[in-house]
């Protein structure tokens, strides 16, 4: 619940959304740092990677009333020095309560970070995991905030810690 200067609290996901997403587990938290900047962290996990396909910001946010403004590829660096690819999505909600949101998005596939959904969309991901390989999974990571800098800062602060929870193909 506490990561560096960030303090979090769990944000529940409604059961109907959980049923549609079909993830095995997830983390959904709002973090606020000592400077009163906020970020939502959403990390769904599945051992059936094809269920993650289609559940990405460009699909789910517009389905909830957001208008997609742009997506760009970027590389960020974690506090521990790991350079990793991610997508930066921008959305806005029109109307009298205009709102903007920026999302730093990437996937952890078998312990490795990618910003490319095609990495886990092939035919090999459709077969059952009969060997029980613990490193056969996909986790999507989303940091969302009203400010790009805040989403970047949170991604840098949290990514090394997140990777500790997801083993690679060497069970490390």
Closest C-alpha among 13, 34, 49 to residue 125: 49
DSSP 160: H
pTM: 0.88
| 171 domain residue, yes or no | no
| 172 domain residue, yes or no | no
The confidence score (pLDDT) of residue 54 equals: 67
Residues 64-100 have pLDDT tens digits of 899 999 999 999 999 999 999 999 999 999 989 999 9
**Contact yes or no for 27/9 (Cβ under 8 A):** no
| 41 domain residue, yes or no | yes
| 48 domain residue, yes or no | yes
CA separation (Å) from 4 to 11, 88, 105, 156? 20, 23, 21, 11
| 137 domain residue, yes or no | yes
| 76 domain residue, yes or no | yes
| 8 domain residue, yes or no | yes
The confidence score (pLDDT) of residue 22 equals: 73
Counted domains in the chain: 1
Domain of residue 23, residue span:
2-121+133-164
pLDDT along the chain (172 residues), means of 10: 96 81 85 97 82 76 93 97 97 93 94 86 58 70 97 97 80 52
| 29 domain residue, yes or no | yes
């Amino acid at each position: 619940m506490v990561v560096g200067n960030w303090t979090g609290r769990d944000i529940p996901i409604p059961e109907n959304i959980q049923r549609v997403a079909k993830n095995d587990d997830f983390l959904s938290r709002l973090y606020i740092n000592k400077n009163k900047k906020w970020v939502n962290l959403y990390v769904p996990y599945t051992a059936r990677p094809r269920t993650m396909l289609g559940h990405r910001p460009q699909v789910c946010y517009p389905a909830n009333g957001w208008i997609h403004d742009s997506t760009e590829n970027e590389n960020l660096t974690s506090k521990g020095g790991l350079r990793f690819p991610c997508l930066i999505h921008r959305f806005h909600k029109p109307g009298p309560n205009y709102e903007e949101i920026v999302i730093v998005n990437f996937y952890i596939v078998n312990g490795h970070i990618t910003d490319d959904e095609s990495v886990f969309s092939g035919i090999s991901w459709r077969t059952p995991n009969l060997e029980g390989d613990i490193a056969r999974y996909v986790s999507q990571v989303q940091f969302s905030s009203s400010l790009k800098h805040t989403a970047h800062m949170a991604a840098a602060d949290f990514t090394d810690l997140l990777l500790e929870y997801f083993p690679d193909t060497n069970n490390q």
